[in-house]
Structures are given as C-alpha cells and as structure tokens.
Structure 1
Amino acid sequence: MSGTATILYFAALRERIGRGSETVPLTADVSTVGDLLAERRRQDETLEDVFAQPGRVRVAVNRVLGDLSTPVHAGDEVAFFPPMTGG
C-alpha cells in the first residue's frame, strides 16, 4: 500500500503523546488499524508506552467506530481515543 493516513489523538491520549494529529505514510505492511498501530509503536517510543494495552483504546476510521482489525486505506482518518463512560 502507498499513500498516507491521518492519525488523530483525543483527550488523555493527546496529552500523553504531546500532539493531536500526524500524517503518516502507509507501507506495504499496513492493511489494518492494528498493523498501523504496531508500525507507529515501533517508530515512536512515546506511542509504545501509551499503547502498551491497545485493547483499552477506542478507534474510529473515517468517523466510524472500529477495532484493530478495521481496514486502513490511503487517505483514511484514523482516530484513537480513551474509553468513554456514559451517564
């Protein structure tokens, strides 16, 4: 795969990472959110720590809730945010 994806970080994740967004290249190894996250964790030590338990983080691709198996394509917007509580 080639092209880029935009990654958005919200709430406490944004605070811990120190940025709200980034545009990243998509390599041939990236076909899902899980692949994208694994690659970013290898490239950025801060993300390795923040996403040590990726199952505890929510994800949306193009503003639709997904999970680590959701496909990622060039031009997609991938958002990560902490679990939400309702009330």
Structure 2
Amino acid sequence: MKIRYFAWVRERIGREAEDIELPEDVRTVAELAGWLAGRGEGYAHAFENPRVVRAAIDRHHARPDSPLGDAREVAFFPPMTGG
C-alpha cells in the first residue's frame, strides 16, 4: 500500500510517501495511524493528536473508522481551509 503525507505531517515524518505492507491487525484508518505512530519519533510527533490529522483512501476523504479494505493508497494531511 502507498502511504502519502502532506504539509506538516510530511515535515514531521520526513518523507512524502512510502510503500508499506500492513500487519493483518491494521484494518481501519485509525489503526493505521496508530501503527504508524509506533514507527519512530517523527511518526509519533505527526500522529500525536490523531483528531487533527485527516485521511483519504484512494483519493476519497475517510473517517478514522473507515475500513482500509483493498485500498491502494492512503493519504494523511492536516485540516484544510479555504480562502
């Protein structure tokens, strides 16, 4: 699965994307964020407050309880504002 990071999430992790193999017990967006947070200091910092990190599965906005299923891509990004 391709994981993409945008804005300050990318800055904290130190990369814009990576390919990963998910553990079998990671089934939702929230579980993925929690698993990523355990991968190191930058990840932990990026996901320290999961309520402010948004996600998209295959370019469609997703809630924390959204199942990953057969997703090809998950993106994480901060809330967006218009103007």
TM-score by length of structure 2 reads 0.89
Q: CA deviation at 1:27?
A: 1.1
What are the Cα deviations for residues 31-56 of structure 1, in whole angstroms up to 9, with x where unaligned? 10111111111122211111110110
Specify every segment of 5 or more residues in structure 2 that has no aligned partner in the other structure, as ranges.
none
Residue equivalent to 1:37: 33
Query: SS of the residue aligned with 1:19?
Result: coil
Output the aligned Cα RMSD.
1.3
Conserved? CA contact 1:26–1:74, under 8 Å? no
Query: SS of the residue aligned with 1:43?
Result: coil
Query: SS of the residue aligned with 1:13?
Result: helix
Q: Distance in 1 between matches of 2:23 and 2:12?
A: 26
The number of residues matched between the two structures is 83
Q: Which moved more, 1:21-30 or 1:67-76?
A: 67-76
Question: Identity rate of aligned residues, in percent?
Answer: 43
Query: SS of the residue aligned with 1:37?
Result: helix
Residue equivalent to 1:14: 10
Q: Distance in 1 between matches of 2:26 and 2:41?
A: 19
What are the Cα deviations for residues 39-87 of structure 1, in whole angstroms up to 9, with x where unaligned? 1111222111111101101110000001211111345200011111112
Q: How does 1:1-87 map to 2 (within 5 A)?
A: 5-87=1-83
Specify every segment of 5 or more residues in structure 1 that has no aligned partner in the other structure, as ranges.
none
Conserved? CA contact 2:29–2:65, under 8 Å? yes
